[in-house]
Amino acid sequence: MTKDGEKMNLTARIFFNAGFYFVRYIIYGIKICGTKNIERCKSPLVFVSNHEGAFGPVSLLSTLPVRAYPWVTHEIMSRRECAAYLQKDFTEAALKLGPRLNAIVSKIICYACVAIMQALRAIPVYRNSRKILGTLQYSLNMLEQGKNILIFPEIPSTAKNTQLGDLYTGFLHLARMYYSRHSQPLTFVPIAVNKKARRVSIGSPVIYNPDNPFWLEKERLKQEISGEIQDMFSSMEEARISG
């Protein structure tokens, strides 16, 4: 890499880190607990969290004590598709802008969004497509390099108030894939984020057991991960209401 390239990357990292620092302490005032649960874990780790809209990804990427590479829907990594996706799922639904302003704002945000995803080295996810196999393979390669992954598998349409939605389970195939190559069980770390409480809670690791039939093990992993996230979320909600 050239000196100019290194300088550009350094400048980008400075502004990127400053931006997340601002988000964490000024805008959200996020607090995190349970970091000791991952201090004794060896990478690679797969962090699994509820979504809470934009709050989940932003809060975790600015508070996790270790770096993790997020799974993101492939639309927001492509300039051709990003604007339309943001217009439908963000500027229209969240910001409630009029049609003309909606289109303008979504196009402006699109450029920043794609750049940030590239800086994060986010992993594009293709749901309901055979391309999801590419997502899994790329993720496996990242894990083999000792890199952690961050996944938000909650199905949005199934979430209700303070109840965690059902989870997509395709990501759990990473456990079997990783074990088949390295004979080492993959560790999943449940995380709960609560936007109203402005809290992030890291739960106890859930470790893949290769001795179980995979269909049974996949269900066990799903239930333990989702149960832990729900319990932590409920605890934060109770503390917020009582405090």
Three-state SS annotation for 149-214: EEECCECHHHCECCECCCECCHHHHHHHHHHHHHCCCCEEEEEEEECCCCEEEECCCEECCCCCCH
- Both structure tokens of 197: 């409480």
Domain spans in the chain, listed from the N-terminal domain onward? 28-67+147-243
The residue with greater pLDDT, 221 or 56, is 221
* pTM, 2 dp: 0.83
**pLDDT more than 90, % of the chain:** 49
Where do we find the tokens 């805008």?
Answer: 27
Residue 6 has pLDDT above 80, yes or no: no
47 in Cβ contact with 37 (< 8 Å) = no
pLDDT at 47 over 90: yes
Q: What are 97-147's pLDDT values in tens digits?
A: 677 777 777 777 777 778 888 888 999 998 878 889 999 999 999 999 999
Q: Classify each residue of 162-183 as buried b or exposed e, where b means 16 or more C-beta atoms within 10 Å of its C-beta.
A: eebbebbebbbbbbebbbeeee
